[in-house]
Structure 1
């Protein structure tokens, strides 16, 4: 091989290495490699610059170099570099080489534009790139594999551009074609990239579970073939999580992307990650973080010459300012003016949905400033939502329209807008998969629901308004529990959870034995996160939503019992009371005061839980607990005159932490706690005859008293005991299926970042709430005797999750659990009393009321469900 041919070969090898680095977003390294390749070609330029193979190698590298420079520098630098190559390529003779190079230039030019948010401009260039590459293949190239892969990339990029511009049919055709080519030619990295784009398509159409499935498949490939691509995947997945209201999980993904993008100097990805991190922080009311991230993103995007994305960052920054101003009650005139200006800029940039959001925000700000006429004028300029308009933006538009109707004195129209908005949200929720996705969407309708409640309260305290308030509360709270459990068992999820359980058990043993745990902890965290991500879509077992319960149906089911549904509006605490065929509204004073007493009582009960506290300390804590319980009783229950018989309580917010049997008005009174009247009605109607078996489960490491569950067997004619090595997760799940009653005495723990990973500790490791989806016939009743696993995690919309919540949502009729920590001795005594009464034929609520009344503060158990 002569010197020129060897130089071309070496340069080609280096170019392939640079392309691989670029595919992994390592552009700085790619540029260094390409400069080395160009230096090799320049070394033989005098003798070879007229050779077609030398020219092709040189042009290929220059085309790639221009794109990488755009990624590290500015859009203009990249485009200028590409445009400078066009006349030189045009001087080449017609044929496959010129077609190939024209295709490469068009592709990279389009991609640079798309990275700048100029997708419409990119589509014609991709049309041209595809045409050139198809011609090159037809004319007969000496490098068909490279041209085929490049053709696939152009088709996939055009599909993505169609996604972003809302052309769903062409997008689907292009992405499916690209996937077929990737599979046929065994191109896994290209397949992963295209799967990410297909996920973006599904996200844009509202199919969040489908999007997450695509991202999951892409992630599997990336972990094996190109781990550096995970940052881009996480960036796209975060957008899907934001659409589902899971801002906390989106933030976790983005917090991984930001340092990686900064380290790799991929400034477009860094800016986008900062922008979406701002959006996540805004959803979680972390306004300082949101402002900082939005400002950093905008500055970075302007420096890159990316006007479209920079304007979106400016909109997020404005939303932070608007939220602060609305909260303070002082809205300066500059804010609606700036929102109007941004709306115009976004329209010019053809960012229709973002322009709609900015225009709606401008109208709302004018309305809250006291100028409904100007607000109406601005709102008239806002276009109707399109097929792909995100649910968050639809909800803001409905909220503004409802608030305008209120300002104009049209209460009926305001209610109509609120109702229509919540119906839209319900349709979006119906498309969600796992429990976390279903519950997360509530955040998007929170303000609209709050407005409806305020409107009702403005109508007075009549029975008619009480009925209306009840209806609105049922529309807006605990919607997770409206969905029928349909049962599924995804083998991949089961495998991941089993691995997580084993790692957790090994980690626990290592800690006990004093062995190093850093690697185990890292692996455990990674596997748990993988299971969590898969569970967002693979654990979908929620069927058709039940209708929202109406007053008449609830009253009929209650019979002689009563129901109290608590609600908060501003700082006002309210109760809708259904009893004796009547509905009434009772105002209960400060919501903040009730919340404070509830949380202080909860803290006191936790503090007094240990069995052998010094007597002076116990007396002091119990005195404080009695004081807070009395204050709650005085505020919440005393005003509800005529309380008698059994009661269903639907709490709100921090009231979920209240052990209701500790309130004097409810002592010895059968009380059932439910997430909503709709959930209670479904559980009550679904009550099955107690024909199943009884199972008693004892986990490891329990104190003697609470662990003596074999004594409980005396209360039942036929029961199964699982203890010691028999109490494995698989055996417990198997025994739970179809049972009438399952009593579990095991340590448990809430998982703050994902309620479905709340767990019970069994002999072989944790039994996760996630795994309850595997039950085909959930037990009628579950008793959680030795841990605080009631409905303690409350999301926006009073979506109560956790281990008990997963049981209820999965079809268990009744769950008995502690609302706070409980000592071993009082827990054991309470359970013995409870099962004695239950075995004698008492209902769960009656049996628990009797058991708790002996020592309410030391036995903080509640009866959940029905």
Structure 2
């Protein structure tokens, strides 16, 4: 009960002690209290109760109970950081138990405690020997301890890399724990099986199992550091670094408040350092790793100490520390780990990177040879291997082998992305390939080979959009949560003034959003085509009659690649930061001009933006239509404001490959859908004006524009026009939404479409804005539609003026009806709007995306 229902066990044990029990019953009560306090992290209290229990068991002359209590005490001592004392206590009690002829079950229970201790300090071969003996002794005896024996053996097998054996043992213990109601241990087994799923590369299943375990632990109101450690690892693998950092930091602080296990706190601190590194917080990464390293050295735990020191050195390297001292420490760390037969590949890799940076080629070869060797392993290990091989080839000046290694590493990540059903996970997981893609792109730019630059720029750009997300129309629970969230949002918007939403309602909104996000993250991919990555030569042929401008951001330097009529030219523009500042100023000026709160020379603003964004590349442009591929950080650009592009047919695409794919898309039908949302200053004027031009259109307005009706009508339509306000959620971009009559239509709702509409016009919100994610991905409404298969989307980069939008949209659809494409219709509508300053500002705020 102390492990399954700890609060009940604590209450019952204290009740026993209150009625002056026998020495044996008092010993059992104190042991139960000690185990509960041990697992809650109150270690001084735990040790005090266990020592009292041991004295009482000896007074009762019960050697079996005394041995069991002594084993619990040994574990508590290790958890308190007194590793040698705890292990010595366990060794002593096991030798005495064998000498005194304790029964099979009693010896098995003692061995299980030592298995955990040996595993926690990295002595896996000895732990496995004890675990095998414990399983043999406990099989068919006490189901609780039999389940624990299988669980501990599985944990040791997993640490040694025997994934299938570990999963079989975990499955066995999971069934037993569930059958006998050991909820906390069942939760831990779910956590462990999540680690198995993660090791196999099945991240959605791992996240689902971890959420199951977390729900049980939360219900029991206990603190389980191991669960936070596993979740942190999984979230980092998913690319959700900020979420991982927040979770593990909260666990560190909770451990401090509760005075928890020093052993577990050291592990939490090490994980916190790794997570802080992933979000670029080098100061926190350094301080957490330094504190963890001091604790772990006192605890004599070389494997975890090696992890902490590696995190510390990596943080200092990332923060710009001198490589000389770091190289010496990394070299010593790798050697120390190898001598103790612990994993040393990452330490060798860091030493190899530092040696390459210092120009020490022989040292580079020596260190990178270790991580470059071998086969198999999880995704991180395999990508590290190809990265090491690429750096080795670079040190040999063997560019061909280096590029092959980059290509092979990225292909591995392609396969991994194909297992993920959630757009967010695919976008974030591209970070695993960022270093490989940058290495190859850096080489191409050094060679000044524009075609090779195009090939490698395209290779890792908008990868997450190349495969549409898994369809979720048939998930009734997801649909129910989205409906509940929509109804809540509608009630809050109608009943509360801004800033006055009740705390309970805010909490319920957060709960529903978390439920939706969790359910989507748990979605595995279905059979899908491999991501389209495109070759430079193929893209060049496919870009007939258009000119390509592709922006490249490498090492905070902006480059512009222009491809036209089979020729390619690369221009170095300048610092990326300058372009970002100019873009921010441009968007501010555009908003201010639209709101009529001031006057701004937009001509001058546009010219300044063009200089820092495109440099001299516009001088080679001809009169053909232009396809623009910006970077994720520079996506929301009002391109029509740039002087050289003002009178051109412009299309914006996440990548050249995406443009080629979109251009090949054909409409599934000629159905036209016109949607008018609530609270527009022009009411239904825009939709009704367009309805006169499309007499057969489906018109949804005046209370009929509900999410389900809009989705049903838009599914596979030829043209969908939505006049509705929207919200962009930088904190959670897939909850960005269009406001309809019954509440928000989010990106999660759009992903329920069976087939995306061919063309979409979003006329009343800044829906072209997205959130940069992963290596160079973008999450938002427009990218969701393109990912689902829409050929083209027209949207604005700033909020637009409703009255000025109506005539612009009427003119746009006039040209669409005449047979113009989306970008051409936008150009003609822009030109017609120029005499009217307000209409011109509105027209320049829109960009056509896709094809």
TM-score by length of 2: 0.90
Task: Assess, with a 3 A threshold, how the Cα gap between structure 1 residues 234 and 755 changes in structure 2: closer, same or farther.
Answer: farther
Task: Indicate yes or no: 2:154 matched with 1:159.
Answer: yes
**Where does residue 141 of structure 1 map in the other structure?**
none
Task: Indicate yes or no: 2:648 matched with 1:682.
Answer: no
Task: Assess, with a 3 A threshold, how the Cα gap between structure 1 residues 92 and 439 changes in structure 2: closer, same or farther.
Answer: same
For the residue of structure 1 that corresponds to 2:594, the secondary structure is coil
Q: What is the CA distance between 1:318 and its match in structure 2? A: 0.5
Task: Indicate yes or no: 2:93 matched with 1:85.
Answer: yes
**Separation in 1, partners of 2:63, 2:395:** 70
Task: Indicate yes or no: 2:72 matched with 1:64.
Answer: yes
**Where does residue 625 of structure 1 map in the other structure?**
605
**Where does residue 366 of structure 2 map in the other structure?**
377
List per-residue Cα deviations over 1:457-507 (Å, max 9, x = no partner): 2223xxxx3222211111121111221455234333333333333444444
Identify which of 446, 468, 472 aligns with 2:452.
Answer: 468
Identify which of 292, 314, 339 aligns with 2:330.
Answer: 339
Task: Indicate yes or no: 2:805 matched with 1:827.
Answer: yes
**Where does residue 486 of structure 2 map in the other structure?**
501
For the residue of structure 1 that corresponds to 2:579, the secondary structure is helix
Q: What is the CA distance between 1:653 and its match in structure 2? A: 3.8
**Where does residue 284 of structure 2 map in the other structure?**
289
**Separation in 2, partners of 1:541, 1:749:** 30
Q: What is the CA distance between 1:856 and its match in structure 2? A: 4.8
Identify which of 775, 779, 793 aligns with 1:815.
Answer: 793
Alignment of 1:176-575 (within 5 A): 176-224=171-219, 226-229=220-223, 231-264=225-258, 265-325=260-320, 331-352=322-343, 355-382=344-371, 384-391=373-380, 393-460=381-448, 465-485=449-469, 487-489=471-473, 490-509=475-494, 511-512=496-497, 517-538=502-523, 540=525, 543-575=528-560
**Where does residue 143 of structure 1 map in the other structure?**
none
**Separation in 1, partners of 2:527, 2:730:** 23
Task: Assess, with a 3 A threshold, how the Cα gap between structure 1 residues 249 and 481 changes in structure 2: closer, same or farther.
Answer: same
Query: Do the aligned partners of 1:633 and 1:664 also contact (CA within 8 Å) in 2?
Result: no
Q: What is the CA distance between 1:6 and its match in structure 2? A: 5.1
Task: Indicate yes or no: 2:831 matched with 1:837.
Answer: no
Q: What is the CA distance between 1:4 and its match in structure 2? A: 9.4
Q: What is the CA distance between 1:637 and its match in structure 2? A: 5.2
**Separation in 1, partners of 2:262, 2:715:** 52
List per-residue Cα deviations over 1:602-639 (Å, max 9, x = no partner): 232233332xx34xx2x137466345345357726523
Task: Assess, with a 3 A threshold, how the Cα gap between structure 1 residues 13 and 782 changes in structure 2: closer, same or farther.
Answer: farther
Structure 1 window deviating more from structure 2 (526-535 vs 537-546): it is: 537-546
**Where does residue 725 of structure 2 map in the other structure?**
747
List per-residue Cα deviations over 1:211-269 (Å, max 9, x = no partner): 21221332343344x24256532321210121232212211322332222222313333
Structure 1 window deviating more from structure 2 (670-679 vs 727-736): it is: 727-736
**Separation in 2, partners of 1:339, 1:440:** 29
For the residue of structure 2 that corresponds to 1:735, the secondary structure is helix
Query: Do the aligned partners of 1:261 and 1:270 also contact (CA within 8 Å) in 2?
Result: yes
5+ residue gaps, structure 1, are 138-146
Query: Do the aligned partners of 2:372 and 2:386 also contact (CA within 8 Å) in 1?
Result: no
For the residue of structure 1 that corresponds to 2:744, the secondary structure is strand
Task: Indicate yes or no: 2:625 matched with 1:646.
Answer: yes
Q: What is the CA distance between 1:335 and its match in structure 2? A: 1.7
Query: Do the aligned partners of 2:379 and 2:413 also contact (CA within 8 Å) in 1?
Result: no
5+ residue gaps, structure 2, are 1-15, 834-838
Query: Do the aligned partners of 1:699 and 1:723 also contact (CA within 8 Å) in 2?
Result: yes
Structure 1 window deviating more from structure 2 (332-341 vs 757-766): it is: 757-766
Task: Assess, with a 3 A threshold, how the Cα gap between structure 1 residues 256 and 733 changes in structure 2: closer, same or farther.
Answer: farther
Task: Assess, with a 3 A threshold, how the Cα gap between structure 1 residues 633 and 408 changes in structure 2: closer, same or farther.
Answer: closer
Q: What is the CA distance between 1:666 and its match in structure 2? A: 1.7
Task: Assess, with a 3 A threshold, how the Cα gap between structure 1 residues 585 and 335 changes in structure 2: closer, same or farther.
Answer: same
Query: Do the aligned partners of 2:331 and 2:348 also contact (CA within 8 Å) in 1?
Result: yes
**Separation in 2, partners of 1:415, 1:286:** 31
Task: Assess, with a 3 A threshold, how the Cα gap between structure 1 residues 163 and 692 changes in structure 2: closer, same or farther.
Answer: farther
**Separation in 1, partners of 2:758, 2:736:** 21
Alignment of 1:25-36 (within 5 A): 34=50
**Separation in 1, partners of 2:480, 2:159:** 36
Q: What is the CA distance between 1:663 and its match in structure 2? A: 1.4
Query: Do the aligned partners of 2:463 and 2:531 also contact (CA within 8 Å) in 1?
Result: no
**Separation in 2, partners of 1:206, 1:541:** 15
Query: Do the aligned partners of 1:567 and 1:574 also contact (CA within 8 Å) in 2?
Result: yes
Task: Assess, with a 3 A threshold, how the Cα gap between structure 1 residues 793 and 5 changes in structure 2: closer, same or farther.
Answer: closer
**Where does residue 3 of structure 2 map in the other structure?**
none
Alignment of 1:708-857 (within 5 A): 708-853=686-831, 854=833, 855-857=839-841
**Separation in 2, partners of 1:20, 1:747:** 54
**Separation in 2, partners of 1:336, 1:33:** 48
Q: What is the CA distance between 1:10 and its match in structure 2? A: 5.5
Query: Do the aligned partners of 1:360 and 1:397 also contact (CA within 8 Å) in 2?
Result: no
Query: Do the aligned partners of 1:246 and 1:440 also contact (CA within 8 Å) in 2?
Result: yes
**Where does residue 13 of structure 2 map in the other structure?**
none
**Separation in 1, partners of 2:113, 2:272:** 28
**Separation in 2, partners of 1:788, 1:357:** 44
List per-residue Cα deviations over 1:359-380 (Å, max 9, x = no partner): 1221221111122233123333
**Separation in 1, partners of 2:54, 2:478:** 49
Task: Assess, with a 3 A threshold, how the Cα gap between structure 1 residues 387 and 409 changes in structure 2: closer, same or farther.
Answer: closer
Task: Assess, with a 3 A threshold, how the Cα gap between structure 1 residues 634 and 652 changes in structure 2: closer, same or farther.
Answer: closer
**Where does residue 607 of structure 1 map in the other structure?**
592
TM-score by length of 1: 0.88
Q: What is the CA distance between 1:675 and its match in structure 2? A: 0.8
For the residue of structure 2 that corresponds to 1:608, the secondary structure is helix
Q: What count of residue pairs does the alignment treat as equivalent?
A: 826
Q: What is the CA distance between 1:104 and its match in structure 2? A: 1.9
**Where does residue 615 of structure 2 map in the other structure?**
635
Q: What is the CA distance between 1:174 and its match in structure 2? A: 0.7
Q: What is the CA distance between 1:741 and its match in structure 2? A: 2.0
**Separation in 1, partners of 2:698, 2:222:** 51
**Where does residue 117 of structure 1 map in the other structure?**
122
**Separation in 2, partners of 1:293, 1:505:** 44
Structure 1 window deviating more from structure 2 (563-572 vs 473-482): it is: 563-572
List per-residue Cα deviations over 1:179-204 (Å, max 9, x = no partner): 23234434433322111111111212
Query: Do the aligned partners of 1:661 and 1:856 also contact (CA within 8 Å) in 2?
Result: no
**Where does residue 849 of structure 2 map in the other structure?**
864
**Separation in 1, partners of 2:27, 2:512:** 41
Task: Assess, with a 3 A threshold, how the Cα gap between structure 1 residues 73 and 433 changes in structure 2: closer, same or farther.
Answer: same
**Separation in 1, partners of 2:684, 2:338:** 66
Query: Do the aligned partners of 2:594 and 2:841 also contact (CA within 8 Å) in 1?
Result: no
For the residue of structure 1 that corresponds to 2:458, the secondary structure is helix
For the residue of structure 1 that corresponds to 2:341, the secondary structure is coil
Query: Do the aligned partners of 2:282 and 2:315 also contact (CA within 8 Å) in 1?
Result: yes
